[in-house]
Amino acid sequence: MRLDEAMRGVDAVGTGVPSYLEVNGVQYDSRRVVPGDIFVAMRGGATDGNRFIGTAIERGAVAVLTDSDELWKRPAMLYPGTPFYLMEHGRRALATVSANLFGHPEQALKISAVTGTNGKTTTAFLLEQMLRSAGRRCVLVGTIETHIGDEVRPSEHTTPESRDLLALFADGIRVGATEAVMEMSSHALEQERVWGLPVDVAIFTNLTQDHLDYHGTMQAYFEAKARLFAGVGAPPPRVAILNADDPDGGARLLQQNLSSGVMSYGMNAGEYRAERISLHAGRTEYLWKTPVGAVEIVSALTGRVNVYNLLAASCAALARGLSLEQIAEAARLLKPVPGRFETVANELGITVVVDYAHTDDALRNLIALARELVGNGRVITLFGCGGDRDRTKRPKMGRAAGEGSDLVVLTSDNPRTEDPAVILAEALAGVTETGAKYIVEPDRAKAIELAIHEARRGDIVLLAGKGHEKVQILNGVTVPFDDVAVAAAALQAH
């Protein structure tokens, strides 16, 4: 593709750019540049891509987009012969160039996007399964893994940068995909990593405290997620699916004059409502009443929180053209999501559950579900708090754990670069307020062994926080760690 074609629609000023120059691709990471690429050098939260322009050119970049006015003023002196563009918005430019070079795959897919604090991953997984059950070929992009039709790839980020996301979409088009289901994090919406994506169906699951280390306030956090419903460099979604039972997220959006068609869901409010709910371990049943009819939903998913996830996914599937009967049939066949209330098999009569719950609200919901299932047994909750993240939620998580559990085992999650002892002390402050019994063990493997050793037949042990993750970050170093594998070994030794 010619450079001027790749730059079509980009808001940038160029220096003597030869329109006939051929380009092959685009990169924002200098380590991935190959000859013929455009390099987009932009300032980020952790680093400044402008520092690596020289490296990119050495690796074969044939043109550079920069958001550095200083570099723009003297590119001929620094890098003679290389066309430079000055851009005001780096991520917008990256998205536009990428879309041009990949042939606008986003326009060939019907995109369903899920945002919210909790439930994004599960809702996205369930929706993809529903669409596939109706014969649709899908791209799935989310926290745990990425699906390109039948191919499964690991995910590095909940929502990738636009260049990588569009590359995934293009791969999906090549295997016949017509649908894309993706999680949209508040970071991605705020940073405009999803610039220009024409979302067809948008879902808001709920809003509880998280990521205040980045957003600062709950209002800013809400506004970042709400950007999905206004459109980020694209028109608003055709359909907005909102949790009417969620006062801080969906219910607030319901009060706004959205230009999208609105589908509201819930157990207590909403037009698409779950009634006559029956909850059992490994089985959930309810009557789904909608403006277009009612149908019995039966699923192997467990718990009240999954009723909300099922409602959100079902509304989206309905908006994407599935019938009530197709959705009910798909619900019966849904597979659980890795690391979301995932049980660890054993013959000891102890229920061991691995779950991603890493906010106080998610932890409270997880413990409430365990309490419903455990009968006369005890609830033992192991959790930790992430380092280099919102510190204000640590005592709240401690209170949530202490209020609902018979025993709390406090340990490390991903301390990252923080001192684990400091993190534990801040979380412990919340636990001690409740008067709950507790054990503190910074070593997560030892803590899991302790929690299982304390359990008796009929008890439930919750290993919260890491879920599907297969690594732990300690003192800035990433090491292999799998809650499921560690728990399985501890059960074997019990």
Backbone angles phi, psi at 492, to 5 degrees: -65, -35
Whether residue 488 sits in one domain with residue 355? yes
If asked whether residues 165 and 314 sit together in one domain, one would say yes
Cα–Cα distance between 401 and 396 in angstroms, integer? 9
Per-residue pLDDT tens digits of the chain, which is 494 residues long: 999 999 999 988 876 566 678 999 999 999 999 999 999 999 876 788 999 999 999 999 999 999 988 777 777 678 888 889 999 999 999 999 999 999 999 999 999 999 998 889 999 999 999 999 999 999 999 888 999 999 999 888 888 999 999 999 999 999 999 999 999 998 899 999 999 999 999 999 999 876 666 667 888 989 999 999 999 999 999 999 999 999 988 899 999 989 999 999 999 999 999 999 998 878 899 999 999 999 999 999 988 899 999 999 999 999 999 999 999 999 999 998 888 888 898 999 999 999 989 899 889 989 998 998 888 999 999 999 999 988 999 999 999 999 999 999 999 999 999 999 999 999 999 999 999 999 999 999 999 999 999 999 999 999 999 998 999 999 989 999 999 999 999 999 88
Residue 307 sits in the same domain as residue 351: no
Pairwise CA distance, residues 461 & 452, whole Å? 7
Could you tell me if 449 and 461 lie in one domain? Answer: yes
76 and 142 in a single domain? The answer is: no
CATH of residue 36: 3.40.1390.10
Are 111 and 81 members of one domain? Answer: no
If asked whether residues 302 and 426 sit together in one domain, one would say no
- Nearest one of 459, 254, 262 to 349, comparing CA atoms: 459
Q: What is the CATH number of the domain that holds 182?
A: 3.40.1190.10
- Is residue 490 within 8 Å of residue 449, measured between CB atoms? yes
CA gap 141, 155 in Å, rounded? 8
pLDDT at site 328: 98
pLDDT given for residue 17 in this prediction: 62
Domain count, the chain: 3
Quote the CA–CA distance of 176 and 483 in Å, as a whole number: 36
* Domain C-terminal end among 299, 333, 367: 333
User: Looking up tokens 């589908």, which residue turns up?
Assistant: 263
**Predicted local distance difference test score (pLDDT) of residue 338:** 83
CA terminus-to-terminus distance, the chain = 63
Same domain, 131 and 74: no
197 and 261 housed in the same domain: yes
Residues 116 and 366: their CA atoms lie apart, in Å, by 17
Cα–Cα distance, 118 to 355 (Å, whole number): 12
Q: Are residues 60 and 124 in the same domain?
A: no
Q: Tell me, what's the pLDDT at 375?
A: 85
Spell out where 384-468 has E strands: 407-410, 437-440, 460-464
- Output the pLDDT for position 330: 98
How many whole angstroms separate alpha carbon 163 and alpha carbon 85? 18
Are residues 260 and 113 located together in one domain of the fold?
yes
In this prediction the pTM is: 0.86
CB-CB contact of 364 with 396 (8 Å)? no
Domain boundary among 101, 131, 147: 101
Task: Print the domain residue range for 265.
Answer: 105-333
The number of helices, as runs of H, and strands, as runs of E, in the chain is 18, 24
Same domain flag for 172 and 302: yes
pLDDT of residue 91: 94
Q: What share of the chain is helix, strand, coil (3-state, %, to 5)?
A: 40, 25, 40
CA 164 from chain centre, in angstroms, equals 16
End-of-domain residue from the set 279, 314, 333:
333
